Each structure stands twice: as structure tokens, then as C-alpha cells.
């Protein structure tokens, strides 16, 4: 960068804008191009002229620019995406007066009250809707990723796609295994329910004892209603599974719904399969 504005020089050197203007007025700091107030043409100072100035801060800034080759302006604004009026003026080359006028006229959306202690600040996304070309150029410059960042982004996308494909393959294997497991379970239940007729006996309902595991066991009203309708239509309920105890009682192992329906309907007996004590 060959030139700086008064505000840029103040920010980079630490010297106040009032002091810089006094240096210019006193002839201690030459200017390359005088500015016009409110016209978007701020006063500009040549970097090389700073080396010959009497003020140490100007000389240090000139040496730093000579060594680095750049001023490195406003790197923090690029990260935050938020600008004050003076910062936006520095980045666009407009004067702060022009930026404030755009805000007051509604041409540039800004947050804050614009008062002391509550300054205006402008978000990067609001610049895209502004009318001035300088604002839109700033937006484009902020959005252009470098080649390294773009390559890193492409690499991350490729890695994510590979992970998604791997997850899909694992899900396919799980679904296939789940189908086999469900088939085995259904086959096992079918074999369990196919009880030979000679193993079915009728046990008194009053002799059936509920174990602690069935305490508070919930049976849906719909299931109980369907079972009652089947019994009223003359069908037999599915056999319950019980274990005969030494005192002559029967410990319920399976069939809590049939047991509750039998009690509610006043049935005396229920079909049951006896579980051996060795199981």
C-alpha cells in the first residue's frame, strides 16, 4: 500500500487524528492528495513521506511497511465481520462523514445508536445490500477464500462423504442381520406356542399366584377388550404358562392378560401349560 488516510495513520501509529491534522497544518507532515469533506475523497499521505517526518511513530510505521510490504489492516474485522464507521471508512476509502450519511439516509443498515458510548457498527452481510460499489467490493474481498482454505474444505467434504458411505454400508449389514434375527425369533415363538394338546390342563383361577415380577405390569385396555370378546364368542383364551408349587398352587409364568380377564369375567378355570420345575 502506497498511501494511508489520516484515520489509517492514526490507527496504525497510535497518534490521534487531531495530532496528525496539526502536523499537516504545521507542515511537518506532507500530504499527497488533499481530501474533500463529505465527498468520499479523504486526505491521503504517502508512506515514503513518513520516513522523513520528525515524529518517531511515523518513522516506525514506515519501517514496518518497508519490511513487511503490507500494512495488514483490520485483520480482526475480517474475523468478526463487524465494522465501526471509521473502520469501514478505512477499508473502503470513503470518508467517515459519507458512511454516517449513508446510515442516516437509510442507505446502509447499522446497529447501535450512533451516540457517545453507543457507536454505530455495521455487519458484513449488511454491506451486500448497500448501494455503493465500495461496500460491495469489500464484501467480495472478505468472501474470497484462498487456495489453501478451499483445498482444505474440499478434503473435508470428501472425508465426510466417505464416512457417510461407510455408515450406509454398516446400516445395510445391521438391517440384514436384523431380518435374520426377527425370523429366528418368530420361528422360536411359533415353536413355543405350538404346545401339544395333551400338555394343556385346566387350572383353577383362584389357585394361580402372581409372582413379584408381575406387580404393576401394564396390560392395554384394547388387548383386554379383544380377549373378552373372544371368550364371549365361545373361543378359548391362549393357554397360560404356570409352574406347579409344592403347596398345590400354580405360579404364573406367562399370560397375565388371560389371568386378569378371567378374574374380571368370573371364570373358574383357565387352560394352562405346566412348566417343569427343572426349567
- Residue, of 37 and 95, whose pLDDT is higher: 95
Mean pLDDT score, 110-129: 71
How high does pLDDT run on average in the chain?
76
Mean pLDDT score, 211-239: 84
Question: 488533499: which residue's cell?
Answer: 34
36 pLDDT band, cuts 50/70/90, is low
**Residue 43 pLDDT more than 90?**
no
Cβ-contact 257, 227 below 8 angstroms = yes
- Residue, of 170 and 36, whose pLDDT is higher: 170
Instruction: Give Rg (Cα) of the chain.
Output: 43
The pLDDT tens digits for 5-19 are 887 888 777 788 888
Q: Which three cell numbers stand for residue 140?
A: 467480495
Q: CA dihedral defined by 203, 204, 207, 210, rounded to 10 degrees?
A: 70
Name the DSSP class of 190. H
**% residues pLDDT > 70 (the chain):** 74
197 pLDDT band, cuts 50/70/90, is very low
> Residue 2: what pLDDT?
74
Enumerate domains of the chain plus CATH numbers: 3-143 (no CATH), 197-275 (3.90.1530.10)
Give the C-alpha separation, 75 to 206, whole Å: 85
Question: 442381520: which residue's cell?
Answer: 177
pTM passes above 0.85: no
**Residue 204 pLDDT more than 90?**
yes
Question: 501509529: which residue's cell?
Answer: 13
Amino acid at each position: 500500500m502506497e498511501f494511508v488516510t489520516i484515520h489509517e495513520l492514526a490507527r496504525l501509529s497510535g497518534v490521534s487524528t487531531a495530532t496528525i491534522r496539526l502536523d499537516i497544518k504545521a507542515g511537518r507532515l506532507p500530504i499527497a492528495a488533499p481530501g474533500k469533506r463529505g465527498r468520499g475523497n479523504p486526505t491521503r499521505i504517502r508512506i515514503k513521506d513518513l520516513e522523513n517526518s520528525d515524529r518517531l511513530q511515523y518513522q516506525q510505521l514506515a519501517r514496518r511497511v518497508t519490511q513487511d510490504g503490507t500494512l495488514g489492516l483490520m485483520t480482526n474485522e475480517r474475523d468478526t465481520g463487524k465494522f465501526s464507521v471509521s473502520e469501514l471508512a478505512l477499508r473502503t476509502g470513503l470518508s467517515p462523514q459519507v458512511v454516517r450519511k449513508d446510515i442516516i439516509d437509510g442507505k446502509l443498515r447499522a446497529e447501535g445508536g450512533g451516540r457517545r458510548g453507543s457507536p454505530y457498527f455495521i455487519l458484513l452481510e449488511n454491506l451486500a445490500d448497500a448501494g455503493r460499489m465500495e461496500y460491495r467490493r469489500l464484501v467480495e474481498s472478505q468472501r474470497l477464500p484462498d487456495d489453501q482454505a478451499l483445498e482444505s474444505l474440499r478434503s473435508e467434504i470428501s472425508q465426510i462423504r466417505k464416512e457417510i458411505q461407510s455408515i450406509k454400508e454398516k446400516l445395510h449389514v445391521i438391517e440384514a442381520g436384523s431380518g435374520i434375527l426377527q425370523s429366528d425369533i418368530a420361528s422360536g415363538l411359533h415353536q413355543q406356542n405350538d404346545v401339544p394338546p395333551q400338555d394343556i390342563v385346566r387350572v383353577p383361577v383362584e389357585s394361580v399366584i402372581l409372582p413379584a415380577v408381575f406387580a404393576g405390569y401394564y396390560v392395554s385396555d384394547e388387548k383386554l377388550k379383544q380377549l373378552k370378546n373372544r371368550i364371549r364368542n365361545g373361543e378359548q383364551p391362549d393357554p397360560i404358562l404356570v409352574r406347579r408349587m409344592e403347596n398345590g398352587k400354580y405360579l404364573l409364568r406367562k399370560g397375565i392378560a388371560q389371568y386378569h380377564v378371567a378374574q374380571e369375567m368370573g371364570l373358574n378355570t383357565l387352560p394352562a401349560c405346566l412348566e417343569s420345575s427343572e426349567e
